[in-house]
Amino acid sequence: MLVGAVLSTRTRDEVTVEAVRRLLKRAPDPQALCRLDIATIRRLIYPVGFYRTKAELLRKMAEEIITRHQGAVPRSRTALLALPGVGPKVANIVLARGLGIPAIAVDTHVHRIANRLGLVKTRKPAETERKLMAVVPEECWIELNPLLVALGQTICLPRNPRCQLCPLDPLCPKRGLSRARMSR
């Protein structure tokens, strides 16, 4: 989950899935990843966005996991954030989806839709995360990201949302949308 979350940033899902598959086939654990040279890691993860940088970060991350965490992915947000290449979104994805620990991962879809639905009124993802934690019950945190991402990728599109197909349409204040931008 950690490798997939790191590779997924600024990369389409289908590209990420294939890159993760190739990399984990050759390096199923941090020790095996550390044995690969950077050029090999780059080849395995290409064409993910920023693959050169991510290859180096993945190698450093594996080294940190071995030396500081006895080869296991850390189970705390603070420890995850201390790993190279791990920001708040990645840390929260790993906690929620990988470890089953309540966390809200905020990406562009979650940020946009939470604001459009009127759940929050924020300008930055970090604000969105904090405010969602205050209004969404903790037992819903793990599932919030995949649900809003799916909605954002299929119906509540950035430019021309398909409001007529949305199950939340009757409840949605459509904040930030002009009538012209809503698909008929």
Which residues carry out catalysis?
Answer: 89
* Cβ neighbours of residue 8 closer than 8 Å, sequence gap 6 or more: 16
DSSP characters over 87-122: -HHHHHHIIIIIH--------HHHHHHHHHTTS---
29 vs 66: CA distance, rounded Å: 10
Q: Provide φ and ψ at 72, rounded to 5°.
A: -115, 145
Three-state SS for 174?
A: coil
How many of the other CB atoms lie within 10 Å of CB of 76? 12
Query: Distances in Å between the alpha carbon of 140 and those of 8, 118, 132, 133?
Result: 23, 17, 11, 10
